Structure 1
Amino acid sequence: MNNIDFAVLGTGGIGRRALEYSRSKDDLTPVAACDRNGVAVDHDGLDVDELLAATEGNIASEAGASDASEAGASDASGEDADPRPDGGVAVKRSGEMQGVAASAQADPTETPIDGVVAESDAIDAVLVALPNLEHDFIPRVGERFAEAGYEGVLVDVLKRSRVIDILDDRAATFEESGITFVCGAGATPGFLTGAAALAAQSFVEVESVDIWWGVGLKSGYEDNRGTIREDIAHLDGYDIETARDLSDEEIEAIVEEHDGRIEFTDMEHADDVLLERAGICDADDVTVGGILDVCSDEKPTTTTVEVTGRTFDGERGTNTFQLDDDTSMAANVNGPALGYLTAGVRRNRAGEYGVFGPADLMPRF
């Protein structure tokens, strides 16, 4: 009853680390994984070591056709093609197999998400580990599972505030389908959103929530190009559309322009709307920023959450939550993501459906 069979959509940095992390959890069994090249399914449990070896260096960050849509795009054969994780369109590659398709457990396909959807009757939860470089991309993925009659858990690690409203617009669809959708369940939003909700309990009024993160990504740069592309969209002069269309060379030029150390301020991270929908504070009272260093694996700054407010007896104070500098981005994203996935399964099995945020439920260890 406590065992959870789950799938991973996307085998870039987050997806690969989620598969690796799951080996430390006896009650979590990865049974399906896909990227834009192929899909692997084994309901007895994937051979994670073999799959990780096959997808080593798998990068889901190449710029795609910016005007391609998931519903209407077709490949050269005229068949509907899956959206690529970057918002473009998946096309069958010639030559040597790449990514998941290189695994002995996998089949190459131009519709990898459909391959997982087709097997979803026997899947308890799905971790959507894809960059959301079109605002409605992940909500559309959720709709595909709902349309197929899926009754289970969907978990994403999306960042953008406006995507939460798009998911909330589909809440009735998820409820009717029996889907428990846990959104923004990574580090920020996610882990740090939940920490802010806990830190707020000292107060009767929260004045501000300030989230400041640090990530050292030298050794993980190749696997996390999609994440870096998403972060660049927060810089002045860029947005989600322009970032989506950048080539890998242009991204590297931006990184070099900042000497490999990029500072972000006033980011559009969904912590704000997720804390507001949980009744903690107004979205305008939340700020998110941080430093990304691709030249070092050491954190350039300590990840901190500060919640300032007024207590019932008239005092004003600030509660501070910090992550140890030795905890990696992979640990602080994938641990909470799988913890929220486990919590979502418990909610789903109890008959609770709809859209939940990281301030609405506690992750399970």
Structure 2
Amino acid sequence: EYFLDLPSYDEGELSILRSELYKITVFLREQNRLLRQDRLRLAEALSDISHQFKTPLTSMSVMAELLSDDRLDSDARREFSSRLRAQISRLTWLTDTLLKLSRLDAGAVKFNTRQVPLRDLLDKACSPLAIPMELKNQSLTVQAEGAAFCDLNWTAEALTNIVKNCVEHTPPGGQIQITALQNPLFAEIQVSDSGPGIPKEDLPFIFQRFYKGKHASKDSAGIGLAMAKAVIEAQGGTLKAVSRGYSILSQGGTNGTSGTTGASGAFDDFPKNPRRNPRENSTVNFGEGPTGNTSQNGIGNAQCNPLDGALFIIHLPVSPAQSGSGSTVPKSRQHNPFEVSSTGSDDGPDFHDIVTG
């Protein structure tokens, strides 16, 4: 700790010197506190990462030992080889995702922000999920108007992780709806599903890294929504989750601050009669359903009222002034209330390589 005990001076150079020394002392004390917090977060992150790697590495070690057995028949060898490749793929995307999160934390990402049509953004976000939705016989309804000021690649990956969460927690034959509209203040994207919703006890923690709710699959790493949160907030946006009367707000520009509130009428955020223009509807095509009708694995023109499951509400900036500098900045560098006064573009993730779990 840093403390300063100097005699007081009413005026003159000694008074000015005392004031400056006091500000420096307070600044060093605050930096020391932030450093201790960073150390604790690093220790927790290393513990979580080691846990995420331990399971697949143990599985790979067992399968490698089995494959070394000459008595193993060809069918079993092919099966173990396939499982080994799956575990290697899992470790690869886990490593890539953790590196992306580290870059976001370190402020090393330069966003290529521009006016992006919401239709194009949702097309790019939903395309990687076409096969998983088809396998579960799920339907998707998308409606998009206007544009947002954001990085297409990074924001699309964030939205993919949100929609993927809905796909995983919606039963076979269920529905997913996406409504994207622009107003003078912001662009709003609402993603809802017909699943069971987010349990009340999980809702305050779903944006925390490595958090896995009670309905999470055993293969989930618990970092998909954390990635989405980091990307959206880094561009000046916000991310909110609502589920059956309860909401959790992940506020842009805060250090993970969140709160749970009763949200009767929370679904009122959805436009009851959104202004629709058929030419502005998303052109993503997951099936053979005719344009203009809600159809299995197809895009519908139907009015998008909320489904009675989970609801994610994303707000994105619509102008450069709202999006900030266009690069990520660590929280400790964003604002320093004790500061003493004195006299290239990132293309984003390779979108077809991984989808965060």
Question: What TM-score do you get using the length of structure 1 for normalisation?
Answer: 0.24
Ranked by relative contact order (alpha carbons within 8 Å, sequence separation 6 or more), the top structure is: 2
Write 1 or 2 for the structure with the bigger share of helix: 2
Question: What TM-score do you get using the length of structure 2 for normalisation?
Answer: 0.25
Write 1 or 2 for the structure with the bigger share of strand: 1
